Structure 1
């Protein structure tokens, strides 16, 4: 029998990846993407677990109470800083390389963790919603999107002022309306 748990899903995704793959040779593309993904993973100071790495995205997760909005903003900013440093080095070596950046989705809800051999997989509506949210109407290529489910969960604890900021909007999907706040990271730094 599987046990339902509450947890956070944090999907970090590379913006511009599809065009990058079309324009770069496999030798260069794999080298660059490998280092960019490793830089994201190495800057995971909140110690999230990794469920999957697929193409241009890393699916991090955390069971239990979620980190604060302030901590999530810092985590994303830290990952993005590492990512941009690595990207800058490669863009000097390959000047025709397109600009890549990061976006991320934070969602909270009921999920089930299960194993397939040595891999830890996640199951539940939270996963469907989080993947739908990667296709959203946010007018930016670099942002942190926090769902209302996540914000409502941290609302049960002392709020930090960040949870009241960001831009609020909803998108309609085949699963219904999903609402969120997003923070654009066009060279913003969150202390």
Structure 2
């Protein structure tokens, strides 16, 4: 199946960190209830109107066709989802301290993909899906972050193409297909990462970043 140049879109995978250890330590019935509520909270916080392709145990594969949202919009979306996630965890923390090991991370990637139907289900096809799942296996020293792939970032007018100006932390990992590079924003203990800055922020004075990051 050939890819059309028009079939471009974003994949946004939101994944629960610490999931495997959590389900080993907790009663299955109770664990299922907590994970269901956490996933529901994430979905209900989807204010960018992403579509859902799959729910994969501890992860939700969101996507949207067409041009990607801005960096600030993506970070704002994740902030909103993480806030809903933390709100659910607070309900269980007094009696189940194990929930304290759970965190949230996200991968944003952009490229060519196709939508197709199997029965009544919508599915996605393309290397973008394979690479997005590869990027989940990264060396980021954090359990709470947003990873923005270079393929996504290069679509952004505000992104510094020389890779030298502060815009998250630049990093590469080696996979079976070679090196995949990205920038990431850690959210450890934060609602909004401190290092949100752009190469040409002054040129974008008409854009109110604080509004884009409203949660």
TM-score by length of 2: 0.83
Residue 164 of structure 1: how far off its partner (Å): 4.5
Partner of 1:99: 101
Q: Which has the higher contact order (CA 8 A, sep 6+)?
A: 1
Q: Secondary structure at the match of 1:145?
A: strand
Shift of residue 85 of structure 1? 0.6
Provide closer, same or farther for how the CA distance between residues 126 and 147 of structure 1 changes in structure 2, counting only shifts above 3 A. same
Counterpart Cα distance in 2 of 1:73 and 1:14: 17
Mark the CA change 1:51 to 1:143 in structure 2 (over 3 Å): closer, same or farther. same
Q: Summarize the alignment of residues 152-171 of structure 1 with structure 2, pairs less than 5 Å apart.
A: 152-155=154-157, 159=158, 164-171=166-173
**Paired residues, number:** 187
Aligned residues of 1:101 and 1:141 also touching (Cα < 8 A): yes
5+ unaligned residues in a row in structure 1: which ranges?
none
**Partner residue of 2:138?**
136
CA contact (8 A) 1:68 1:160 kept: no
Q: Aligned-pair distance for 1:98?
A: 4.3
Cα offset, 1:91, TM superposition: 1.4
Q: Whose strand proportion is higher, 1 or 2?
A: 1
Q: Residue 27 of structure 1 is aligned with which of 23, 29, 51? A: 29
Shift of 1:99: 1.9
Q: CA RMSD of the aligned region, Å?
A: 1.7
Cα distance per residue 1:81-104 (max 9 Å; x no partner): 000010111112323444211000
1:54 to 52, 56, 62: 56
Contact 2:83 2:191 (C-alpha < 8 Å) held by counterparts: no
Per-residue CA distance 1:17-73 (angstroms, 9 max, x = gap): 000011011110000000000000000000000000011000000100000000000
Q: Is the 8 A contact 1:9 1:61 kept in 2?
A: yes
> Could you tell me how far apart the structure 2 residues matched to 1:113 and 1:86 are?
33
Give TM-score, length-normalised by structure 1: 0.93
- Cα distance in 2 for partners of 1:8, 1:108 equals 4
Match of 1:87 in 2: 89
Residue number in structure 1 paired with 2:76: 74
Could you tell me which runs of 5 or more consecutive residues in structure 2 were left unpaired when the two chains were aligned.
Answer: 193-212
Q: Work out the CA distance in 1 between the residues paired with 2:14 and 2:126.
A: 19
Structure 2 match to 1:116: 118
Cα distance between partner residues in 1 of 2:95 and 2:132: 35
Structure with larger Rg: 2
